[in-house]
Amino acid sequence: MLDSVPSLSRLIAELSKFPGIGQKTAARLAFFLLRQPVSEAEALAAAIRDLKAKVRFCSRCFHITESDPCPLCMDEGRDAHHLCVVEEPQDLIAIERSRCFRGRYHVLHGALSPLDGIGPEDLRIAQLMERLAGGGVQEVMLATNFTVEGEATALYLARLIRPMGIRVTRLAHGIPMGSDLEFVDEATVNRAIEGRREI
């Protein structure tokens, strides 16, 4: 039925590529956009264009930014002796929302997953080790997700970092297993950071 309206079919197909968006939800979103004024659709298109044109990864921590280095790396008020390692930029944002960590960050952009073909060379692990070799970091807090892949990544990193004489800690298990940091409330993230432990 929608094949007679190719532009609508194309939009539904593009929207259904988003995570968690099936054909029905994509169709609802497409019809919503169809009912909006042209200015609203143009504003959405411009926001997507700006996102793709302006946002990149920080050359130091690999967080998303429009300026390089990012504002977090440029903040002289942050403790350069403490480094928090996270899987994704969303996890960094979750920890920042808790307002209880004032160190620096390193974003891996994923977790080890041999079944999916993701090994150490596919993550920002080499860059992390370069940063640590530069000296100054006294503690690395591993804040990978509490999934099988996140735990494996934390253990792998701990084995690499510990011989460097750097304290390695892990978030406390106040965060439920199988959950992603981006969906955890601030108080729980705060408790997990305060209760971190050696691994």
* Count of the separate structural domains present in the chain: 2
Residue range(s) defining the domain that contains residue 167: 77-198
More confident residue, 168 or 2: 168
d(CA 10, CA 52): 20
Contacts of 128 (CB under 8 A, 6+ apart): 85, 106, 108, 157
Report if residue 71 sits inside a domain: no
Residues 121 and 26 in one domain: no
Query: Would you say residue 18 lies in a domain?
Result: yes
CATH number at residue 85: 3.40.1360.10
CATH number of the domain enclosing 9? 1.10.8.420
For residues 152 and 187, membership in a common domain is answered with yes
For residue 196, give the 3-state DSSP assignment: coil
- Judge whether 63 lies within some domain: no
Instruction: Examine residue 108 and state whether it is found in any structural domain, yes or no.
Output: yes
**pLDDT tens by residue, 70-111:** 999 999 999 999 999 999 999 999 999 989 999 999 999 999
Q: Look up the pTM and report it.
A: 0.80
The DSSP bridge partners found for residue 55 are: none
In terms of domains, do 31 and 94 share one?
Answer: no
Asked, for residue 148, whether it belongs to a domain, the answer is: yes
Q: Same structural domain for residues 163 and 92?
A: yes
- The closest of 94, 89, 105, 85 to 168, measured between CA atoms, is 85
| Rounded percentage of the chain residues whose pLDDT exceeds 90 | 80
Residue 59 lies in a domain: no
Over range 112-131, report the average pLDDT: 96
Asked whether residue 116 falls in the same domain as residue 174, the answer is yes
Question: Could you tell me if residue 60 is inside a domain?
Answer: no
H-only helix segments in the chain: 6-15, 23-35, 38-54, 71-74, 89-98, 125-133, 148-161, 186-194
**Could you read off the pLDDT of 18-59 as tens digits, one per residue?**
999 999 999 999 999 999 999 999 999 999 999 999 999 999
